[in-house]
Amino acid sequence: MLPGSLGHWWRNKFSMRWQQTCLLACWLSLCAADSLFTCPSSCQCNSGSLEVDCSGLGLSSIPSDIPTNTRIFLFLNNKLSTLPGPVFSNLSALQRLDLSNNFLDQLPQNIFSDLGNLTELQLRNNSIRTLDKDLLQHMALLRQLDLSINGLAQIPSGIFDDLPALRLLSLRSNRLHSLDRVTFEPLVSLQQLQVGDNPWECDCNLREFKHWMEWFSYRGGKIDQLACTLPKELKGKDMRMVPMEMFNYCSQLEDENGSVVLDNSGPPCTKGSPTPSKSKSGPEPEVEPSVGCPQKQKYRPVSVRRAIGTVIIAGVVCGIVCIMMVVAAAYGCIYASLMAKYHRELKKRQPLMGDTEGEHEEQKQISSVA
């Protein structure tokens, strides 16, 4: 009896101790986690998902004490207008960055260069008017990029060269009037492109991009409406629905310009880009020829090639006709000189004959020779 109750008491005591130790350990570990993930004052944080949310606080600068292991940083609806260069340099673990609904107008070239883990970048509804060509380098994992509702008038070519994982790109509601096909070719994973609500000018400059859009749709990509603003007769029409024949005049313009360009800088261009197919297949096309040579050199549509073929054939036919005409003229000359000689000899041989008879005889002779 007694030993049994003693054992029971010991067991109770032991389990209480165990519970206390456990509580202490839990409290300590919580403390440790908190000290590793200290939330910047007035922001809200979730230490489980490593998220820092400083949205809607009227802030005009980014807090400097963001934990370095932050994965998600939300900074929407603030008054941010400039970003000092190294502001994100300690946040290499960042996966999602949202700076939407601020007043950013310019982004320093290296601002995102340390964010190699970033998969989502939201810059919606700012005042960005220009982008640096090198802004998005070293972002091999980026899958979503939202640049909608800004003041972009053009997209520099080469800016998307290092985004092999990008799936969603929004350029909606900007001031774009034209896009370059070469800029979009490196986006091999792109699935959705939003280009609506821009003042598109559906002229020769957009023709190559139309080709790219058709290829992109064929590949299964989604693209929203690209409605023309200019020219007047295409206003409101979707560029993809405008038949390609509407742009036939472009290749004629190119031909006219092409001959002028070749006269000015023919030799370096033809040396710089030996085979057009080679320069197209490479992911990084050589910079040199594209700088020195017109775009036309790189990509020549079928109709232009056909036109060149026609010119060559016409030239050959003309040449043959010319040669035949020269031969005929030479034959005529020789014939005439022979006749003159014959005529003179005839006159020498029959000096006593009458003029009319002589002429008659002569004509007979000529007709028999002929």
Long-range contacts of 282-285 (CB under 8 A, 24+ apart): 283/186, 284/161, 285/182
* C-alpha dihedral, 323 to 324 to 327 to 328, nearest 10°: -140
Please report how close the Cβ of residue 45 comes to ligand NAG at its closest, in angstroms: 17
User: HSE of 194 in the Cβ direction (CA atoms, 13 Å)?
Assistant: 16
Distance CA 134, CA 90 (A): 20
Size of the chain, expressed as the number of residues it contains:
370
CB-based closest residue to ligand NAG: 116
Q: Which CB sits closer to ligand NAG, 86 or 315?
A: 86
Q: Which CB sits closer to ligand NAG, 65 or 359?
A: 65
- Structure tokens, 2: 């007694």
Of 57, 33, 31, 32, give the one whose Cα is nearest residue 44: 57
User: HSE of 204 in the Cβ direction (CA atoms, 13 Å)?
Assistant: 10
Distance CA 180, CA 27 (A): 58
Q: Which CB sits closer to ligand NAG, 199 or 258?
A: 258
Please report how close the Cβ of residue 30 comes to ligand NAG at its closest, in angstroms: 22
Give the binding site for ligand NAG (CB under 6 A).
64, 77, 86-87, 89-90, 92-93, 101, 116-117, 125, 149, 253, 256-257
Of 230, 252, 250, 226, give the one whose Cα is nearest residue 239: 226
Q: Which CB sits closer to ligand NAG, 69 or 365?
A: 69
Please give the C-alpha separations between residue 79 and each of 22, 54, 89, 122, 126, in angstroms, as whole numbers: 46, 12, 21, 16, 10
Distance CA 145, CA 189 (A): 13
What is the number of helices (H) and of strands (E) in the chain? 9, 11
Please report how close the Cβ of residue 24 comes to ligand NAG at its closest, in angstroms: 30
Q: Which CB sits closer to ligand NAG, 41 or 64?
A: 64
Burial class (CB in 10 A: 0-12, 13-18, 19+), 9: exposed
Q: Which CB sits closer to ligand NAG, 217 or 295?
A: 295
Distance CA 310, CA 300 (A): 15
Please report how close the Cβ of residue 255 comes to ligand NAG at its closest, in angstroms: 8
Q: Which CB sits closer to ligand NAG, 75 or 216?
A: 75
Q: Which CB sits closer to ligand NAG, 111 or 195?
A: 111
Distance CA 264, CA 292 (A): 11
Distance CA 215, CA 212 (A): 5
Please report how close the Cβ of residue 27 comes to ligand NAG at its closest, in angstroms: 27
Q: Which CB sits closer to ligand NAG, 15 or 61?
A: 61
Please report how close the Cβ of residue 329 comes to ligand NAG at its closest, in angstroms: 38
Please report how close the Cβ of residue 88 comes to ligand NAG at its closest, in angstroms: 8
Please report how close the Cβ of residue 89 comes to ligand NAG at its closest, in angstroms: 5
Please report how close the Cβ of residue 3 comes to ligand NAG at its closest, in angstroms: 57
